[in-house]
Structure 1
Amino acid sequence: MAFCLPIEEANKIKEAIRSGKLSPEKLNEMTSQERRNFLANFIGKENAKEVNLLFEKKLLLKNQERAMSDWAREITGLSKEQKEATLEKIRKTYAEKKRRLQDPKENEKFLNEIVSDIYSRKFKTETTLEEAQIITELSQDLKRAREKMNEDFTWKTEEDGLNFGAAKVAVDNYIGGLKAEANKELFVNPLKVRGLMEKARAISVDAKIALNFIADNSRSIKASVDNSLWGRQGIKALFTKPKIWANNFAKSWQDISTTIQKGNEAGEAILDGVKAEIYSRKNYLNGRYELGKKLDIGTGEEEFPTSLPSKIPGLGRLFKAAEVSYEAGAMRLRADIADVYYDLAEQAGIDMTNKIEIGSINEMVNSLTGRGRLGRLEGAGKAINSVFFSAKFFKSNLDTLTVHAFSGDFSNFAKKQAAINLLKMISAISILFLISSGFDEDSVEWDTRSANFGKIRLGNKRFDLTGGMSSLIILASRIVTQQTKSSVTGIIKDLDGGFGSPTGMDILWNFTENKFSPMFSVIKELIAQKTFDGEEPTLVNQLTNLIVPIIIESGIDASKKEDLANTLLVLIADGLGISANVYSYNNDWNIKPGKELTQFKEKVGEDKFKEANDKYNRLVNEKIVELNKDSDYKKLDEEDKQKKLTSEKGKIKSKIFREHRFKYKRTK
Structure 2
Amino acid sequence: DGWLSPRNESLKAEGNAPKGYNLVDGDPLPPFKLADEDDVALWSLLVSDKPIKAKAGEAKPAASGANEPTLKDVLSNFVRDEEGSFSAANLAQGVSDFLSPVRDTTQHANEPTRWLNDIRSVVAAGTRSKKLTPTQAADALQIARDGLAALNAGDGAEYIRQRARAVEALSAKMSLGEKARDVINLPRALLSSIDLSFPFRQGAVGLLNLNNVSPRRALARATEFRDMFTAAASQRGFDDIRAELRGHPRAPLAEASGLYSATGSALSINSRLIDREESFASTVAEKLPVIGRGVKVSERAFTAAGDLQRLHLFDGFAKQLEGRGVKFDQNPKAYQDIANYVNAMTGRGRIHDKLKSLEPVLNGALFSPKFLASRLQVLNPMTYARMEPEARRIALKEVAGFAGAVTTVLGLAAASGAEVGLDPDSADFAKIKFGNTRYDVLGGLQQPMVFMFREGQALYRRQAGEKLSEYQTPGAIAERFARTKASPAAGFAYDAAVKNANFTGWWNSKEPFDYGEGVGSLIAPLFVRDLYQAIEAEGLAGLFKTLPAGLGVGVATYGDKPKATEKPTPKTKAEKRKQEDDEGKFWYPQGGGRKPWPPPHMLPSPPPQ
Distance 2:38 2:401 in 1: 54
Q: Which residue of 2 aligns with 1:578?
A: 553
| 8 Å CA contact retained: 1:217, 1:306 | yes
Residue identity matched to 1:568: L
Tell me, yes or no, if structure 1 residue 272 matches structure 2 residue 245. Answer: no
Shift of 1:326: 0.9
Distance 1:575 1:484 in 2: 39
Distance 2:459 2:289 in 1: 50
1:460 pairs, out of 418, 432, 436, with 436
Q: Which residue of 2 aligns with 1:428?
A: 405
Describe the shift of the 1:422–1:339 C-alpha distance in structure 2 as closer, same or farther (beyond 3 A). Answer: same
Tell me, yes or no, if structure 1 residue 321 matches structure 2 residue 297. Answer: yes
Greater C-alpha Rg: 1
Deviations 1:127-169 (CA, angstroms, capped at 9, x unpaired): 22222233234335556777x7xxxxxxxxxx74x55x853x3
Q: Which residue of 1 aligns with 2:332?
A: 355
| 8 Å CA contact retained: 2:259, 2:310 | no
Aligned residue for 1:462, secondary structure, equals strand
Identity of aligned residues (%): 20
Higher helix proportion: 1
Residue identity matched to 1:174: R
Shift of 1:180: 5.1
Shift of 1:247: 2.7
Distance 1:392 1:447 in 2: 28
1:446 pairs, out of 385, 398, 422, with 422
| 8 Å CA contact retained: 1:292, 1:358 | yes
| 8 Å CA contact retained: 2:422, 2:429 | yes
Distance 1:320 1:117 in 2: 28
Describe the shift of the 1:104–1:557 C-alpha distance in structure 2 as closer, same or farther (beyond 3 A). Answer: closer
Distance 1:234 1:104 in 2: 38
1:649 pairs, out of 567, 581, 584, with 567
| 8 Å CA contact retained: 1:310, 1:316 | yes
Deviates more, 1:465-474 or 1:118-127: 118-127
| 8 Å CA contact retained: 1:226, 1:322 | yes
Aligned residue for 1:580, secondary structure, equals strand
Shift of 1:382: 3.3
| 8 Å CA contact retained: 1:552, 1:571 | no
Q: Which residue of 2 aligns with 1:368?
A: 345
Aligned residue for 1:282, secondary structure, equals coil
Shift of 1:484: 11
Distance 2:129 2:400 in 1: 44
Shift of 1:178: 3.8
Residue identity matched to 2:224: N
Shift of 1:105: 9.8
| 8 Å CA contact retained: 1:554, 1:570 | no
Distance 1:412 1:96 in 2: 55
| 8 Å CA contact retained: 1:214, 1:519 | no
Tell me, yes or no, if structure 1 residue 218 matches structure 2 residue 187. Answer: yes
| 8 Å CA contact retained: 1:215, 1:517 | no
Distance 1:123 1:557 in 2: 57
Residue identity matched to 1:279: R
Describe the shift of the 1:104–1:352 C-alpha distance in structure 2 as closer, same or farther (beyond 3 A). Answer: closer
Distance 1:125 1:568 in 2: 58
Distance 2:295 2:164 in 1: 21
Aligned residue for 2:137, secondary structure, equals helix
Shift of 1:325: 1.1
Distance 1:337 1:323 in 2: 21
Q: Which residue of 2 aligns with 1:663?
A: none
Aligned residue for 1:453, secondary structure, equals coil
How do residues 499-648 of structure 1 correspond to structure 2 at under 5 angstroms? 499=469, 501-529=471-499, 533=507, 534=509, 535-560=511-536, 562-585=537-560, 621=562, 624=563, 645-646=564-565, 648=566
Q: Which residue of 1 aligns with 2:310?
A: 334
Aligned residue for 1:340, secondary structure, equals helix
Describe the shift of the 1:445–1:104 C-alpha distance in structure 2 as closer, same or farther (beyond 3 A). Answer: closer
Aligned residue for 1:478, secondary structure, equals helix
Shift of 1:482: 2.5
Shift of 1:557: 3.2
Describe the shift of the 1:171–1:497 C-alpha distance in structure 2 as closer, same or farther (beyond 3 A). Answer: farther
Distance 2:238 2:132 in 1: 26
Tell me, yes or no, if structure 1 residue 396 matches structure 2 residue 348. Answer: no
* Unaligned stretches of 5+ residues in structure 1: 6-24, 32-48, 61-92, 107-114, 149-158, 186-204, 259-265, 486-493, 587-620, 625-644, 659-668
Residue identity matched to 2:496: L
Aligned residue for 1:231, secondary structure, equals coil
Q: Which residue of 1 aligns with 2:41?
A: 53
Shift of 1:179: 5.6
Over aligned residue pairs, what C-alpha RMSD do you find? Answer: 4.1
Aligned residue for 2:497, secondary structure, equals helix
Describe the shift of the 1:471–1:496 C-alpha distance in structure 2 as closer, same or farther (beyond 3 A). Answer: farther
Aligned residue for 1:457, secondary structure, equals strand
| 8 Å CA contact retained: 2:440, 2:554 | yes
Residue identity matched to 1:431: T
1:182 pairs, out of 170, 173, 183, with 173
Aligned residue for 2:131, secondary structure, equals coil
TM-score by length of 1: 0.61
Q: Which residue of 2 aligns with 1:131?
A: 136
Residue identity matched to 1:271: F
Shift of 1:570: 4.5
Deviations 1:264-299 (CA, angstroms, capped at 9, x unpaired): xx43x3332221111222112xx2021132332412
1:290 pairs, out of 240, 255, 259, with 255
| 8 Å CA contact retained: 1:238, 1:246 | no
Shift of 1:542: 1.2
How do residues 24-103 of structure 1 correspond to structure 2 at under 5 angstroms? 28=25, 53=41, 56=44, 102-103=96-97
| 8 Å CA contact retained: 1:291, 1:355 | no
Distance 1:323 1:332 in 2: 14
| 8 Å CA contact retained: 1:294, 1:362 | yes
| 8 Å CA contact retained: 1:116, 1:132 | no
Q: Which residue of 1 aligns with 2:285?
A: 309
Deviates more, 1:535-544 or 1:384-393: 535-544
Shift of 1:575: 1.4
Distance 1:178 1:26 in 2: 28
Distance 1:117 1:457 in 2: 54
How do residues 235-254 of structure 1 correspond to structure 2 at under 5 angstroms? 235-240=204-209, 241=212, 243=218, 244-254=220-230
| 8 Å CA contact retained: 2:183, 2:282 | no
Deviations 1:561-596 (CA, angstroms, capped at 9, x unpaired): x3114421443122121111223356xxxxxxxxxx
Describe the shift of the 1:454–1:585 C-alpha distance in structure 2 as closer, same or farther (beyond 3 A). Answer: closer
| 8 Å CA contact retained: 1:478, 1:484 | no
Task: Count matched residues.
Answer: 462
Deviates more, 1:356-365 or 1:532-541: 532-541
Distance 1:142 1:178 in 2: 14
Describe the shift of the 1:26–1:480 C-alpha distance in structure 2 as closer, same or farther (beyond 3 A). Answer: closer
| 8 Å CA contact retained: 1:401, 1:422 | no
Describe the shift of the 1:566–1:307 C-alpha distance in structure 2 as closer, same or farther (beyond 3 A). Answer: farther
| 8 Å CA contact retained: 2:385, 2:392 | no
Distance 2:296 2:39 in 1: 45
Shift of 1:520: 0.4
TM-score by length of 2: 0.66
Describe the shift of the 1:382–1:228 C-alpha distance in structure 2 as closer, same or farther (beyond 3 A). Answer: same
Shift of 1:440: 3.2
| 8 Å CA contact retained: 2:495, 2:513 | yes
Compare relative contact order (CA 8 Å, sep 6+) and give the higher one, 1 or 2: 2
Shift of 1:232: 0.6
| 8 Å CA contact retained: 2:194, 2:527 | yes
Distance 1:439 1:448 in 2: 22
Residue identity matched to 2:522: L
Distance 2:222 2:544 in 1: 21
Aligned residue for 1:581, secondary structure, equals strand
Shift of 1:364: 1.7
